[in-house]
Amino acid sequence: MADKRATIIRGGRLINPGRDRAETADILINGDTITEVGPPGLAAPADAIAIDARDRLIHPGLINAHMHGHGNLAKGMGDRWTLELLLAAGPWITGGRTLEDKYLSTYVGAIEMLLKGCTACYDLTVEFPLPSVEGLDACGRAYADAGMRAVLAPMVAEFSFYEAIPGLMDALPPALQKEVERLRLAPGDATLAAMRQSMQSWRFDRASVRPAVAPTIPHHCSDDFMRKCAVLAREFDVGLHSHVQESKAQVMVGLKRYGKTQTAHLDDLGLLGPDFTVGHGVWLDHDDMQRLGDHGASVAHNPGSNMRLGNGLADVRAMLERKVNVGIGTDGANCSDNLNMYESMRLASMVSKTQGPDTDRWLTTGEVLAAATEGSARALGFGEKLGRVASGYKADIVFLDLHNVNWLPFNNAVNQLVHTEDGAAVHSVMVGGRMVVEDRRVVGVDMAALARRIEETRARLEGATLPNKQLFERVEHVVNSFCPGLAKMPYHVDRFGGGHHGHTHAAWVKR
């Protein structure tokens, strides 16, 4: 920020979601904001810093609408895990973290996202048994240090995984019941007070790193707690984010507990609004989507994680038809194993195309790109500031190397960005007018030193979390027979007709 001179980017090919071709355009930046985009030869102040973008394809920074900063140290730790096994593994793969570990886990994810063309994210981060001012500050500092934008939401609940699923605790042998008792969370009021304190003492520029509130999964919280989370978020004018109808087991628990879908229940509680984001929404029915659309709410679509955890394929076309704002995310590296938004875009396109023969219902690559930029920006509460390379938007810009093999030949800009690009062509990345990746390296980061630090941390955590790992190994078979049992109960979401499946609700509710 010390340099007050303007920046002019000349000669790059600028992607346009509505067009096959990327025309050459010059981009003028003042401070952290794009002030003009125009044809080659655009006027600029004589002392402007010039960036030569010939042989570069320029696209707005991708925006990750749903990820978990704490998950980055757990990449690759699981394979054949359902969502419920992932939750049961949490104390092992996320446990025992010091303040510095929390920073490091968040930081390495920020570095990965920047290197893969992503400039902002919605991070749902967790601390046990409740969030702390220092912990959230450490995570915020990781994004500020990396030079990336983030919405940082402590993922909070009142009930542990074992308490949240009716009947699961009883399915455990008494000895294990006693052991999982140590996984109890803090009382809701203590958690709410910690979040309030964190937001009151927030020291980051909210245009770069801002707080939000994420009651993790509705049935892991009391209704009173959910309502208080919404009141808190709205008092501080920040976002609300929750995992809703992600797995079928979750849906069945929701129906049993509420007598209606989780979305219908959240609507009754007053949570839905333009500030509310549904994580996943794989099992939303059309009425749920209509409610979300009517409230101007968002869905963060995470196709990679939805497949990896066996949750299924979300019907994004039906969401868009009901005016739901859709963003795209990677989900945590503990269940998608990377934070690659190019891969998420590609999967979002593929997943839409596997769901039926009617090509009109498939997502276009332009729609996918719009979701991963403008749609995600709106979910983050950064609508009309992020997600486009246009006058008035923040200068969050990715420069792809058109000599990379992904672009040989260069036939169609948007199709290739979504279906061909995998991050390998990312040459430089700018956030708020400042280069944070240059020539495929994160500016100012010593990757060898970071690797040493990460390995020391990994080795220490492996030892520290061994008891939690052993506990997971003892509960695994119980969780993995009880929860799939729930998921096998009849429940049908009609994908292609308008009809609903009311009788399956009723059948469950009567039990």
In this complex, which beta carbon is closest to Zn ion, that of residue 97 or of residue 388? 97
In this complex, which beta carbon is closest to Zn ion, that of residue 17 or of residue 279? 279
Asked if 83 contacts 245 with a C-beta cutoff of 8 angstroms, the reply is no
Minimum gap (Å) between residue 335 Cβ and Zn ion: 8
20: enclosing H helix or E strand: none
Minimum gap (Å) between residue 450 Cβ and Zn ion: 25
In this complex, which beta carbon is closest to Zn ion, that of residue 126 or of residue 414? 126
Q: How far apart are CA 20 and CA 1, in angstroms?
A: 36
In this complex, which beta carbon is closest to Zn ion, that of residue 347 or of residue 389? 347
In this complex, which beta carbon is closest to Zn ion, that of residue 254 or of residue 279? 279
Minimum gap (Å) between residue 395 Cβ and Zn ion: 29
297: enclosing H helix or E strand: none
Q: What is the DSSP string of 324-381?
A: -EEEE----TTTTS---HHHHHHHHHHHHHTS-S-GGGSPPHHHHHHIIIIIHHHHTT
In this complex, which beta carbon is closest to Zn ion, that of residue 188 or of residue 279? 279
User: What does the block give as tokens for 88?
Assistant: 């049961």
In this complex, which beta carbon is closest to Zn ion, that of residue 279 or of residue 304? 279
Q: How far apart are CA 495 and CA 263, in angstroms?
A: 17
Residues that bind Zn ion (CB under 5 A): 279
Q: Which residues have CB under 8 Å from 503's CB, separation 6+?
A: none
Minimum gap (Å) between residue 436 Cβ and Zn ion: 25
Minimum gap (Å) between residue 246 Cβ and Zn ion: 8
Q: How far apart are CA 59 and CA 295, in angstroms?
A: 30
Minimum gap (Å) between residue 132 Cβ and Zn ion: 20
Q: Which residue has the tokens 């509460």?
A: 381
Minimum gap (Å) between residue 392 Cβ and Zn ion: 32
Minimum gap (Å) between residue 458 Cβ and Zn ion: 22
Minimum gap (Å) between residue 226 Cβ and Zn ion: 17
Q: Which residues have CB under 8 Å from 499's CB, separation 6+?
A: none
3-state secondary structure 196-264: HHHHHCCCCCCCCEEEEEEECCHHHCCHHHHHHHHHHHHHCCCEEEEEECCCHHHHHHHHHHHCCCHHH
In this complex, which beta carbon is closest to Zn ion, that of residue 12 or of residue 279? 279
In this complex, which beta carbon is closest to Zn ion, that of residue 68 or of residue 228? 68
Cis peptide before 409 (omega within 30 of 0): yes
Q: How far apart are CA 370 and CA 424, in angstroms?
A: 21
Q: How far apart are CA 134 and CA 194, in angstroms?
A: 10
Q: How far apart are CA 398 and CA 395, in angstroms?
A: 10
